[in-house]
Amino acid sequence: MGNIILDKNVSFAKVYQSLNVAATLKKKVEDFVVEENLSVAFSGEGEHCWIYVKKTGCNTDWVAQQLAVFCGVKQLAVSYAGLKDRHAVTSQWFSVQLPGKPTPDWSKFETDFSNNEIEKIQVLKSFRHNRKLQRGALKSNAFKITLRDLSDTQDETFELLTQRCNEIAQKGIANYFGDQRFGRNANNLNQAQKLFQNPRFKLSKHKRGMYLSAARSWMFNHILSERVKRGVWNKRLTGDVFMLDGKSACFKDDDDDDQIEQRLSANDIHPTAILWGEGDVMVTAEAAELESHIINQFPDFRDGLISARLQAQRRACRLKVENMQSYREKDNFVVSFSLSSGSYATMVLAEMFSKCVE
**Does residue 256 sit in the same domain as residue 312?**
yes
**Does residue 120 sit in the same domain as residue 182?**
no
Which is it for the CA torsion 70, 72, 74, 80, positive or negative? negative
**Does residue 121 sit in the same domain as residue 198?**
no
Count of structural domains, the chain: 2
Within a domain: 160 = no
Within a domain: 104 = yes
* Residue 213 lies in domain: 176-319
Look at the pTM and tell me if it is higher than 0.85: yes
Query: Which parts of the chain register pLDDT below 50?
Result: 1-9
Within a domain: 295 = yes
Q: Is 185 left (phi over 0), alpha (psi -120 to 50) or beta?
A: left
Domain harbouring 58, CATH code: 3.30.2350.20
Within a domain: 51 = yes
Domain harbouring 234, CATH code: 3.30.2340.10
**Does residue 206 sit in the same domain as residue 308?**
yes
Last-in-domain residue among 129, 156, 189: 129
Within a domain: 150 = no
**Does residue 123 sit in the same domain as residue 183?**
no
205-230 and 187-197 helices cross at what angle (nearest 10)? Answer: 110
Last-in-domain residue among 90, 108, 129: 129
What span, in angstroms and rounded, lies between the C-alpha atoms of 152 and 150? 5
Give CA 251 to chain center in angstroms: 23
**Does residue 202 sit in the same domain as residue 95?**
no
Q: Which of 85, 254, 258, 300 is catalytic?
A: 85
Within a domain: 78 = yes
Last-in-domain residue among 72, 99, 129: 129
Q: What is the predicted pLDDT for the residue at 5? A: 45
Whether residue 112 lies in the annotated active site: no
Q: What is the predicted pLDDT for the residue at 118? A: 76
Q: What is each CA distance from 71 to 93, 134, 137, 163, 278, in whole angstroms?
A: 16, 19, 23, 49, 42
**Does residue 96 sit in the same domain as residue 207?**
no
HEC secondary structure over the chain: CCCCCCCCCCCCCCCCCCCCCEEEECCCHHHEEEEEECCCCCCCCCCEEEEEEEEECCCHHHHHHHHHHHHCCCHHHEEECCCCCCCCEEEEEEEEECCCCCCCCHHHHHHCCCCCCCCEEEEEEEEEECCCCCCCCCCEEEEEEEEECCCCCCHHHHHHHHHHHHHHHHHCEECCCCHHHHCHHHHHHHHHHHHHHCCCCCCCHHHHHHHHHHHHHHHHHHHHHHHHHHCCCCCCCCCCEEEECCCCCEEECCCCCCCHHHHHHCCCEEEEEEECCECCCCCCHHHHHHHHHHHCCCHHHHHHHHHCCCECEEEECEECCEEEEEEEECCEEEEEEEEECCCCHHHHHHCCCCEEEC
**Does residue 190 sit in the same domain as residue 302?**
yes
What span, in angstroms and rounded, lies between the C-alpha atoms of 27 and 186? 24
**Does residue 189 sit in the same domain as residue 89?**
no
Q: What is the predicted pLDDT for the residue at 83? A: 85
Within a domain: 102 = yes
**Does residue 107 sit in the same domain as residue 188?**
no
**Does residue 125 sit in the same domain as residue 199?**
no
Within a domain: 357 = no
**Does residue 180 sit in the same domain as residue 315?**
yes
